[in-house]
Structure 1
Amino acid sequence: MASMSFSPPSTFIFNGENYHIWVVKMKNYLQAYDLWKFVYTDVEQALLRDNATVAQIKHHSDKGAKRYKAMSCLQNGILDVIFTCIMACKTPKEAWYKLKEEFQGSDKTRQQQLINLKRDFENLKMKEVETVKQYADRIVTVATNIMLLEEEFADSKVVENFITTLPKRYESKISLVED
């Protein structure tokens, strides 16, 4: 089996802005290198038996190295000024949740953000000077922000809101789209 070479992320360094976007990119990066499980679990690696085979020793060593690779990805995927808030963390899971709390807030804060975004979504109306494309982009932006807060949000709800909030002058075009 061919092994993938490992290199820490360099193209998406978190600078303190757009945390939700960085999270998606980092999670996918870690999953691509089979490192994500070391972020969401804190399972300690079992000790090797005294009579372990060479293959078992290699497997044990590779598995131990993955925890450090995951931590390295997290540490190298953020600016130095942000690194200071996780440098005392011992595990990738601890570092991940420290960043989450720091930049996404507590569960209570996220819940309030979610309530505000849902209210904004329900109150969206197309402005007179806005094009349909601009309005659609605005709706999608709010819906994406809701989904980034780990909330399921059906595409059909976005489409329904878009169609029902378009001004009357688009009624004939809406009928065509519905057909």
Structure 2
Amino acid sequence: MQLKENTKKNATTLQIIQQGVSKPIYLRIFNINSAQKVWGALNKEFKGASKVISIKLQNYWRSFDNLSMKENESIKDFSSRVAKIVNQIKGCGDTIPEKKVMERILKFLL
């Protein structure tokens, strides 16, 4: 009974992992039949990415700090650029206070 339950949990977990990754990553893991092995493979592959993420974060923060509204740029376009950078920062696991984002936008509206 325990083995059947574990098999069902493995299948469910494996399905969730497979549904949660992009197509290129899915193609690298689709033939692995153990959720634990898939998780290990993903962890191994992306663990070295921490340095890359750190560098990306530095670049995103620099972009955020250097943001300015371009001449003839609409408020909508400027706020979209701000949102894009904020999402990139958040996507790398960092946080950015809403107050800081609003200050950046309001700085160029006044």
Q: Same fold per TM (> 0.5)?
A: yes
- Is this contact kept in 2: 1:89–1:95, CA < 8 A? no
1:135 and 2:78 correspond: yes
More helix by share: 2
Q: CA–CA distance in 2 between the matches of 1:144 and 1:111?
A: 15
Percent of residue pairs identical? 23
- Within the candidate set 40, 47, 65, 1:94 is matched to 40
Name the structure 1 match of 2:102: 159
SS at match of 1:110: helix
Distance 1:66 1:82, change over 3 A: same
State TM-score, norm by structure 1: 0.50
- Is this contact kept in 1: 2:14–2:33, CA < 8 A? no
The alpha carbon displacement at 1:75 in A equals 3.2
Structure with bigger gyration radius: 1
Q: CA–CA distance in 2 between the matches of 1:130 and 1:152?
A: 27
The alpha carbon displacement at 1:78 in A equals 4.6
- Provide structure 1 residue ranges, at least 5 long, that are not aligned to the other structure: 1-56, 172-179
Structure 1 runs of 4+ aligned residues shifted over 2 Å read 60-64, 72-79, 81-90, 95-99
- Provide structure 2 residue ranges, at least 5 long, that are not aligned to the other structure: none
Distance 1:67 1:120, change over 3 A: same
Equivalent residues, number: 106
